[in-house]
Amino acid sequence: MILRRGQDRDSLAGEESVSLTPFTDAAMSEAFEVPSPHEKHIEHTTEHAHARGDSFASRIAVMTALMATFGAMLSYQAGSTESEAAMDKNNAAIIKTEAANQWNYYQAKSSRQNLAELATHIPGVDAAHYREEIERYKSQKEAVRQQAEKLEATSREWDEKSEQALHRHHRWAQAMTAIQIAISLAAITLLTRKEWLKRLSYTAAGVAMVLGGLAWLHV
């Protein structure tokens, strides 16, 4: 490399380092890029479509891209409903623990009431005082019992919500499995060019759409 007049070696080295930096960053980003399975299927079908240059491969490539997009939506919904079911189940467990604490408090009040009733039969004690205690414990027990039953009802509601969310999760997961099968069959169709495989792939995609619709309608 020839140095121009007025240009030293340090400035030249700086220019070379600046010009090499973007190339290095791009190379590193490409090296660490991990494509998803759906992206691999899209790339695979698109390459075949361009290589053959026919309408059959192009239609399969377009349908595969649409199915991959639909599969990504199904995957998101499956994960979302699974998290929702877990959170609802956790809320039910927390409230059920609170209800159990209230019932323990109820039992403690009952024990004190029983002791007060026994005390009224002991000679020489203030029976009127213990009868007042008995009435006080009865009223407190009733309030605690109502609170405990209310918490148990709330816990059952959260349990039902969790079961419904888990049911929808299973529907979304089934739909996602069906669309993945459809994408795999579409890739095989490009290699074999079998019409019955294409129909089977479209049928699997239709099943995925039906299952996704059932999940959306909470059926």
Reported residue count of the chain is 219
* Distance between CA atoms of residues 164 and 215, nearest Å: 10
Gyration radius of the chain's alpha carbons: 35
- Torsion angle (degrees, nearest 10) of CA 178, 179, 182, 184: -100
* Distance between CA atoms of residues 25 and 28, nearest Å: 5
SS3 for 103?
Answer: helix
- What string of pLDDT tens digits covers the 219 residues of the chain? 444 444 444 444 444 444 444 444 444 444 444 455 555 555 655 565 555 556 888 888 899 999 999 999 999 999 999 999 999 999 999 999 999 999 999 999 888 888 888 888 888 777 788 788 888 888 888 889 999 999 999 999 999 999 999 999 999 999 999 999 999 999 998 888 888 998 999 999 999 999 999 989 887
What are the CA-CA distances from residue 218 to residues 13, 51, 174 (Å)?
A: 66, 44, 14
Residue type, 33: E
* Distance between CA atoms of residues 20 and 179, nearest Å: 44
**pLDDT tens-digit series, residues 18-77:** 444 444 444 444 444 445 555 555 565 556 555 555 688 888 889 999 999 999 999 999
CA nearest neighbour of 106 among 138, 141, 135, 136: 141
* Distance between CA atoms of residues 125 and 66, nearest Å: 86
CB 148 within 8 A of CB 78: no
Domain residues of the chain, as ranges? 40-216
pTM for the complete prediction? 0.63
DSSP 8-state secondary structure symbol assigned to residue 32 = T
Cα 35 to chain center, whole Å? Answer: 22
